Amino acid sequence: MIEGIIFDLDGVIVDTAKYHFQAWKRMAAELGVNFTEVENEQLKGVSRRGSIDKILNWGGISLSEEEIEKWMRIKNEWYLEYVAGMQPSEILPGADRIIAEAKSLGLKVSLGSASKNSRFILEKVNLIDQFDAIVDGTVVSASKPDPEVFLTGAKQLGLEPSKCLVFEDAVAGVQAANNGNMKVIGVGDSTILAEATLTFPNLENVRLKEDIIDKI
Ligand code: G6P
Ligand code: MG
């Protein structure tokens, strides 16, 4: 029986990929590299450091450790400028309703995100008070598909991993949940997220009890 829900942030609760894209593209341009939306897709669920390593690799650029640290800092400053204006209206359809349904069913709710900016974003969209635990890139070190972020979420909720259900939009996130022995709902393309327990293109019309909990 499911007793807790763990949500990824980017791509499940809010669409921040477009803001990450703007900031990475701006950085790539400064370095003389073209960075595309197709490449940005491959950065979903990938940590900030993992992302810059990939962009530099695609662009055939090698930078010192100091330069990498500098560009990560600058990129994040730009990203924070872009997300500073986020509003509750930017919550992806259904995400806030599913969180509310989980709470009304007596389930505990945690965040499980690679982002170091998750609290800032949850505050902007007015959801921060809905979470019993927030586990993000400021708390864990291993990147998805390592299950650390979700196992830490389960622990903070006081639940066995097998009693937790994860919502994820990234392949690495689905794998992380599986690696943690958790059921996982893939949000996105079912062929890409084929390893998920169930997938939905989005959460707009999905009912937590009838469409998910009663079926897994
Ligand atoms: C999420 C996003 C990634 C992002 C990562 C780190 O996993 O899907 O695109 O790189 O978080 O985000 P941060 O806000 O710490 O740079
Ligand atoms: Mg995501």
73 in a known ligand binding site: no
Could you tell me if the CB of 25 is within 6 A of ligand 1?
Answer: no
State the residue range of the domain holding 196: 4-15+89-215
Give the per-residue pLDDT at 53: 98
Give the per-residue pLDDT at 116: 97
pLDDT tens-digit profile of 74-93? 999 999 999 999 999 999 99
pLDDT tens-digit profile of 133-167? 999 999 999 999 999 999 999 999 999 999 999 99
Give the per-residue pLDDT at 89: 98
Shared domain check, 23 and 11: no
- 214 tagged catalytic: no
Is the full-model pTM beyond 0.90? yes
3-state SS assignment for residue 172: helix
Q: What is the DSSP string of 96-120?
A: HHHHHHHHHTT-EEEEE-S-S-HHH
* Residue whose CA is at the smallest distance from ligand 1 atom 13: 115
- The segments of the chain whose pLDDT lies below 50 read none
Shared domain check, 79 and 159: no
3-state SS assignment for residue 205: coil
Give the per-residue pLDDT at 82: 98
What CATH number does the domain containing 66 carry?
Answer: 1.10.150.240
Give the per-residue pLDDT at 188: 97
Cα dihedral across residues 84, 89, 95, 96: positive or negative: positive
168 in a known ligand binding site: yes
Instruction: Give distance in angstroms: CA of 46 to centre of ligand 1.
Output: 6
Shared domain check, 42 and 11: no
20 CA closest ligand 1 atom index: 9
Q: What is the rounded CA–CA span in Å between residue 56 and residue 83?
A: 24
ipTM of the complex: 0.98
170 CA closest ligand 1 atom index: 8
